[in-house]
Structure 1
Amino acid sequence: MLTNPVYAALTGPHAGFAEVRGNARRYPPAVAPFLALPDDPTPQDWADAAVLLGPGTTAALMRPEFPIPDGFKLDLHIDLVQFVAPADLPAEDPEAVRLGPDDVPEMLALVALTDPGPFRTRTIELGTYLGIRREGELIAMAGTRFALPDHTEISAVCTHPSYQGQGLGTRLIRAVAAHITAAGRTPMLHTSGGNTNAIRLYNSLGFTVTNRMKVTLLQAL
């Protein structure tokens, strides 16, 4: 399941979010830009995916690299590293506050400043998001995105540039991990293969590399 996390989520705990045609699944675009297919997609699965997306629509696949068939245009491949958290990672943080729908405009502004990965107007619906505020301003956040049967992904870890280097991201990763483990799941996360600072941080926190994959951005023709 960890090698095909979006499909595991959309056929499992996040099935209620799934837009479905045949074996193809996708999140609503306002929630997340991800498409999912079975481990070994058939020509019919790809045909269903094309109809599900619609002509000219771009979506992201997260899984090991594989050939893209006719009917789709490859926009971009991004190397991705998947990590699973150690048992001693979780730690609640008294300064971390639960973020809700009213906080989304500030969350989107913080994401625009820091580019931690896709975060859209309804992404907050996928799980628990925590933030740290200073003088009322949201300066750091992290939350949960893909929910698999046994794992939950930590995502959208970002800190305002004026407050970076203070360990806020680490504190929020630990706090989000505490929410995940309290629900009986194992925390996991993904980062770009070229993000050496993030990889160094996750290694220092005891995360274990479980898979090296690709994010494939493709467009239905």
Structure 2
Amino acid sequence: MTMNAEISEARVHDALDNPFWSSLQSLHGDIALRAGGVSRYPAAYAPFLGVASAHDDVAAGLDALVAPGESVYLIGVAPEPPAGWRLEAFRPLAQMTRTAPLPVADGPEILPLGEAHRADVLALTALVYPHYFRERTMDMGRYFGIYQEGRLAAMIGERLGTGECREMSAICTHPDFNGRGHAGRLTAMLTNDTLARGALPFLHVSHENPRALHLYERLGFRHRRDIGFWSLRRV
């Protein structure tokens, strides 16, 4: 079984090359904030902003959407920063994809996570995934978790995406439950579900997190490209 043949390869590649912009124009268009060729997520969802092209004049849009002193993040495409803005490049992220299902190891029950679990999700992400998870990030897609000993031991969720591709994100495990295979089990489950829905699963991982990078490589994810990653701050 492989990814749905009807998925447009060109559209997938365009979306993956500029994932914040693509998601804000499609899957998350109903929550996008837009001005002057710039789109961003409301701060309660994610600190992410996208532009269609690195060559557009986005000064007016940035001024309208980003508060003084606020930092936002971009992946794949970044504009030339206007006067009064500081663009900082981080080490590019590894963008990885999988086009075929994975075996799902036996293990504890995987539960859909909802409003009743929000406090547990926010506590876990604050501990091990603190930089980009916000109060309403869970509203950007579906989330799943494994509970053990009455605690949220591990979780995974959906974040960016279009009709043709879907990002897996916030794949994290509480330090007390490391080494039990929870992250791999969750990743395999959601990979297979995404493929069954006719979309390409993808994820981003830092090269500075070799443990996670090796996990996805071991599961059979393909390194599609290194993708630029920046912060943009209004000063």
TM (normalized to structure 1)? 0.91
RMSD: 2.0
Where does 1:180-191 land on structure 2 (aligned, <5 Å)?
180-191=194-205
CA contact (8 A) 2:38 2:50 kept: yes
Aligned to 1:107: 121
Aligned counterparts, 1:73-88, within 5 A: 73-75=86-88, 77-88=90-101
Say whether residues 1:9 and 2:9 are aligned partners: no
Name whichever of 54-63 and 112-121 sits farther off.
112-121
* Partner SS, residue 30 of structure 2: helix
Secondary structure of the equivalent of 2:63?
Answer: helix
Per-residue Cα deviation, 1:98-123 (whole angstroms, up to 9, x for no partner): 00022111111111221275211101
Q: How does 1:27-66 map to 2 (within 5 A)?
A: 27-43=41-57, 45-63=58-76
Superposed, 1:1-221 pairs within 5 Å as 1-43=15-57, 45-63=58-76, 67-75=80-88, 77-89=90-102, 91=104, 95-115=109-129, 117-221=131-235
In the alignment, the residues of structure 2 paired with residue 89 and residue 170 of structure 1 have an alpha-carbon distance, to the nearest angstrom, of 10
User: 1-side partners of 2:136 and 2:195: how far apart?
Assistant: 24
Residues 77-131 of structure 1: per-residue CA shift (max 9 Å, x gap): 2421100113123749771000002211111111122127521110111111000
Tell whether the 8 Å contact from 1:8 to 1:149 is kept in structure 2 after alignment.
no
Question: After the TM superposition, which of the residue ranges 72-81 and 101-110 deviates more from structure 2?
Answer: 72-81
Distance 2:124 2:178 in 1: 13
| Structure 1: distance between partners of 2:233 and 2:83 | 11
User: What 5-or-longer segments of structure 1 have no aligned partner?
Assistant: none
Question: Which residue identity lines up with residue 58 of structure 1 in the other structure?
Answer: S
Give the TM-score normalised by the residue count of structure 2. Answer: 0.86
Give the structure 1 partner of residue 9 of structure 2: none
Q: Is the 8 A contact 1:91 1:177 kept in 2?
A: no
State the alpha-carbon separation in 2 of the partners of residues 99 and 92 from structure 1.
20
Contact 1:79 1:194 in 2 (8 A): no
Kept in 2, the 8 Å contact 1:108–1:121? The answer is: yes
Shift of 1:65: 6.2
Runs (4+) of structure 1 exceeding 4 A deviation are 64-67, 90-94
User: Counterpart of 1:17 in 2: which secondary structure?
Assistant: coil
Q: Deviations over 1:61-87 (max 9, x none)?
A: 111566434231135524211001131
Displacement of 1:35:
0.4
Residue 50 (structure 1) shift:
2.6
* Conservation of the 8 A alpha-carbon contact between 2:20 and 2:75: yes
User: In the alignment, is the contact (CA less than 8 A) between 1:20 and 1:26 conserved in 2?
Assistant: yes
Distance 1:65 1:58, change over 3 A: closer
Between the aligned partners of 1:105 and 1:202, the Cα distance in structure 2 is 28
